[in-house]
Amino acid sequence: VNQILLLLLVLTVCAILYNKVHQVPLALKNEMVDLESPEEMEEEIPVVICAAAGRMGAAVAAISSIYSNTEANVLFYIVGLKTTIPHIRKWIENSKLKEIKFKVVEFNPMVLRGKIRQDASRPELLQPLNFVRFYLPLLIQKHEKVIYLDDDVIVQGDIQELYDTKLAPGHAAAFSDDCDLPSTHEMVRSVGMQNTYMGFLDYRKQAVRDLGISPSTCSFNPGVIVANMTEWKHQRITKQLEKWMQRNVEENLYSSTLGGGVATSPMLIVFHGKYSSINPMWHIRHLGWSPDARYSEQFLQEAKLLHWNGRYKPWDYPSVHTDLWENWFIPDPSGKFKLTRPDS
C-alpha cells in the first residue's frame, strides 16, 4: 500500500511539474517579444543642436520642426554655455516640446583658448558654440552615428532619411556640396557668394598653396553633418581641426571676410577629398544671404531642410521666407526672446 501511495505521489508531482514546465516558456516568450518589439529596439537618432544666447528661438524652431515631422526615436543633444542652459531647459519644459527626449550638454569654451584669431568684421562668427561641431566625440559618447545641425535650419522631411545617409568606408562625415543644385547656383550668382575654396582660403599664403588644393574646387557647407564617430576618433579629426585653427592664429590663412565664417575653412582643409555627400534636397541653403533674393515657393516646398546661413536670419528683420520658419517657432514662455518684425 505504501509503495502504491508513494507512486501516486510521485506521479502527482510529475504532473504538476509538467504543467509548469510547459507554461513557463509561453510566459518567457511573451516577455521576450515585448523586449524585442520594434518600439523598444528602435534605433536612437542623436541630433546635436546648439542653443546660443540671443538666438535660442532658432534652436527651438529647429527642434520643433524635426520632432513634428518624424516618428523616429530622436534624442536631441542641446549644447549651450553654462549661463544659457537654464533658459533653454525652461523653454523646452514649459512648452509643447516637453515631450521630446533631450539632454542638455554644457560646452566649455576654454578648449578654444589660443585657437581663434580675433576678427572684428563679423565677431558673431567667433562665438564658442560655432565650434561645437569640431568636438562631437567629446560631447557625444555612446553613438556610432550622429547628426549635427546649425540652429538656423528647419527640417521639413523625416530626419530618419537624413540619418540613413550612407558614408563611404573611411569617411568620417557627409556634407552637402556647394555646387550640387542648379537652383542654388542661381542664388549664389545673384548674391555674389563664393562656392569654391578660393572664397574661404587665402591662396596668397604659402601654407595654403602647399595643400595642393585647386582654388576652383567646390566647397561644402558644414551646417548639416552626418558623422561617423568611430572614424572621427580614429582619424583624430578634432586634433587636425585644432591644428589648422592654431595655424590660422599664427599665419592668418582664412578670415570671416572671405567665405563668411571661420568654422568652415578648417573643415574644408581637413575633409578635402575625404567626405561623403548628403542628398542636396536635405540642405537648401543661402536663405539668409540676402534680404531680397528668394527661391521659388514650389522649390522650397519640395526641400527637406532649409538653412538661413548668412547675415539675414528669419527671427530678425529684414529676412526672407520667414513664414516657413515661423511655422515651427514656439514663443519663449519667459518672454526674453522676441521676434524682430517691421511692426514690432
Count of structural domains, the chain: 1
Query: For residue 229, is it within any domain?
Result: yes
Burial class (CB in 10 A: 0-12, 13-18, 19+), 177: middle
Note the pTM of the prediction, 2 decimals: 0.86
Query: For residue 189, is it within any domain?
Result: no
Pairing of strands 145-149, 220-228: antiparallel
Helix (H) / strand (E) element for 307: namely strand 305-307
Closest C-alpha among 69, 20, 121 to residue 324: 69
Q: How far apart are CA 292 and CA 72, in angstroms?
A: 36
Residue ranges in the chain modelled with pLDDT below 70: 1-41, 119-125, 180-193, 255-261, 344
Query: For residue 195, is it within any domain?
Result: no
CA dihedral in degrees (90, 305, 262, 148; nearest 10)?
60
For residue 134, give the CATH number of its domain: 3.90.550.10
Domain range for 90: 45-178+221-250+266-327
The grid coordinates of residue 295 equal: 527661391
Query: For residue 203, is it within any domain?
Result: no
Closest C-alpha among 134, 143, 270, 140 to residue 200: 270
Rounded to 5 degrees, what are φ and ψ at 113? -60, 125
Q: What is the pLDDT of residue 297?
A: 93
Q: What is the pLDDT of residue 184?
A: 66
Angle at CA 120, nearest 5°, toward 117 and 123? 80
Q: How far apart are CA 136 and CA 51, in angstroms?
A: 15
Closest C-alpha among 60, 58, 63 to residue 45: 63
Question: What does the mean pLDDT of the chain come to?
Answer: 86
Burial class (CB in 10 A: 0-12, 13-18, 19+), 40: exposed
Beta bridge partners of 103: 77
Closest C-alpha among 282, 197, 272 to residue 237: 272
Q: What is the pLDDT of residue 33?
A: 33
Query: For residue 68, is it within any domain?
Result: yes
Q: What is the pLDDT of residue 333?
A: 96
- CA-based diameter of the chain, in Å? 110
Q: What is the pLDDT of residue 16?
A: 57
Q: What is the pLDDT of residue 30?
A: 31
Burial class (CB in 10 A: 0-12, 13-18, 19+), 53: middle
Query: For residue 96, is it within any domain?
Result: yes
Q: How many residues does the chain have?
A: 344
Query: For residue 23, is it within any domain?
Result: no
Rounded to 5 degrees, what are φ and ψ at 134? -70, -20
Three-state secondary structure call for residue 164 = coil
Burial class (CB in 10 A: 0-12, 13-18, 19+), 306: buried
Who contacts 105 (Cβ-Cβ below 8 Å, separation ≥6)?
77, 78, 79, 80, 139
Beta strand extents in 13-126 (DSSP E only): 44-50, 73-80, 101-106
321: left (phi over 0), alpha (psi -120 to 50) or beta: left
CA dihedral in degrees (84, 90, 95, 99; nearest 10)?
100
Contact 300, 321 (CB under 8 A): yes
Query: For residue 214, is it within any domain?
Result: no
Closest C-alpha among 252, 85, 33, 64 to residue 149: 64
The grid coordinates of residue 146 equal: 550622429
Q: What is the pLDDT of residue 220?
A: 93
Beta bridge partners of 80: 106
